A and B are shown apart, each in its own frame.
Chain A
């Protein structure tokens, strides 16, 4: 009895091993099914979906104008104090004072890419960009100013 069991065990073991090896070995003769990609060699072909959250950016049009009113809704929505809005007062030609954005400070090192700020913005001034390669040698480089130098608010955005 024992001998019989032993032999059947050995037979089953060898068979199960061969089944497994057939599966893995099959990929030798079907290399087309291998999907491994080499990063960073494939950087040029990288195709990130448009919704991918890599960093927060502010949208500027060709006249260097943005839609941010400095309302701080995004600052309040952010769970980790990643955004700091610094406002100033613009004086219009008629002499009226109006609150406007001075600096949009964005701490990339604190951002968790949760998208809550983008959802909160009433004017759609900010959005998520696809860039994900954020390594730098100095941490202070991760603190960014999102509104471009010399930019101003687009006409008609309230």
Chain B
């Protein structure tokens, strides 16, 4: 169990059991098929006893070359592929792409569409954090929370299914607005969901947050200081847990976020427990946003009039949005044609993963699961 690069770099021989000769160090592979990596992430870990010396993530197992593929797709078509990047924030990815195209076309989105988009984004954020909560608890050995999390997430999936027609890869945001109007049941079902969420959220705290085993495994584990969070380019809950204000919805408001009342949840400890608390807080804030909007959806068009074939003027366009994992940037270079010349995605998962080595060095192998779990990695988002 070693990699060639490792052996060459250390200039040492590897014995049969994977130990590096003469150093007392051992190289093990976590992944690409490992339950705790939630996908095909491959970590090459150098261990000294049980202490982590170095972590080297090897990427590329789920690379689908989405950026390159987008160059041959039209401005309507490339959006659907981005649902498959960070599939837990697919609405928000689509939103970012649609907004970039609208920027190029200088298109005004009708107020109704803006509200629908924000509602969908926040529902997605709650669903994403709920899945993270269940999966992270499962990494740490608690199996029950996963089912509790899916119960609430299922309610959101049903809402999405009814209005958007799909549960995971919705492709609902299109340049100019949204693909279809809200389903007549939408408001009622969202209100039902809010009721359900408020009735059940205390179970999350009772099961996991207050649990002493869980707290001991999280507190002081995987500490990331504010300076390091900035220098590694961490965004989203990971940066906010270290006290870095990085919420794009607050810093560079898009759509109607500047008119909404919500708090940017931050912590200062920077450890796994702080990241956990930030996400728990964000769920409540998202619900707060949904509550403000659900009774105030303006009437009107859900989609602005657009031409059948979209052509962006020559130039470069960039937008950033806050996904459930951090800042997603979409950068389009247009030569004036019907397809982009180049598309670049700045995905939050990639930068957050780069801090993993720094956070886990010197800690025990068992702590890695807590650190990695609270980074909330979605592998297709890293590889693209």
Contacts and interface: CB of A to CB of B under 8 A. Distances in A.
Contacts of B183: 49, 51
A106 to B, nearest CB: 17
Given A115-B165, A116-B80, A19 B203 contact: no
A115 B206 contact: no
A53 interface: yes
A112 interface: yes
B171 interface: yes
Contacts of A42: none
A79 B80 contact: yes
B206 A23 contact: yes
Interface string A21-40: 01110000000000100000
A51 B73 CA distance: 25
Nearest to A20: B207
A53 B163 CA distance: 11
Contacts of B77: 77, 79, 116
A53 B211 contact: no
A123 interface: no
Contact of B211 (A17, A79, A113, A114): A17
A12 interface: yes
Contacts of B210: 16, 19-20
User: Which range contains the number of A residues in contact with the other chain?
Assistant: 20 to 34
Contacts of B171: 114-116
A13 B164 CA distance: 45
Contacts of B162: 49, 51
B324 to A, nearest CB: 22
A90 interface: no
B240 to A, nearest CB: 26
Contacts of A112: 80, 169
A83 B70 CA distance: 19
Interface centre among B174, B179, B206, B213 (most CB of A within 10 A): B206
Contacts of B166: 52-53, 113
Given A51-B165, A53-B165, A113-B166, A16 B179 contact: no
Contacts of A23: 203, 206-207
A112 B81 CA distance: 9
Interface string B175-209: 00001100100000000000000000001001110
Contacts of B154: 35
Interface string B285-320: 000000000000000000000001000000000000
A109 interface: no
B63 interface: no
B34 interface: no
B161 interface: yes
Given A13-B212, A51-B163, A51-B164, A114 B80 contact: yes
A9 B210 CA distance: 13
A56 interface: no
Contacts of A51: 161-165, 180, 183
Contacts of A22: 206
Given A49-B183, A51-B165, A79-B80, A12 B212 contact: yes
B144 A16 contact: no
A128 interface: yes
B151 interface: yes
14 contacts: A19-B206, A19-B210, A23-B203, A35-B154, A49-B161, A49-B165, A51-B180, A79-B81, A113-B165, A114-B80, A115-B165, A115-B171, A116-B77, A119-B179
Given A19-B210, A24-B207, A116-B171, 11 more contacts: A23-B203, A35-B151, A35-B154, A51-B180, A52-B161, A52-B166, A79-B73, A79-B77, A79-B80, A79-B81, A114-B169
Which 6 A-B residue pairs are closest in the complex by CB-CB distance? A79-B77, A51-B165, A13-B212, A114-B80, A49-B162, A53-B165
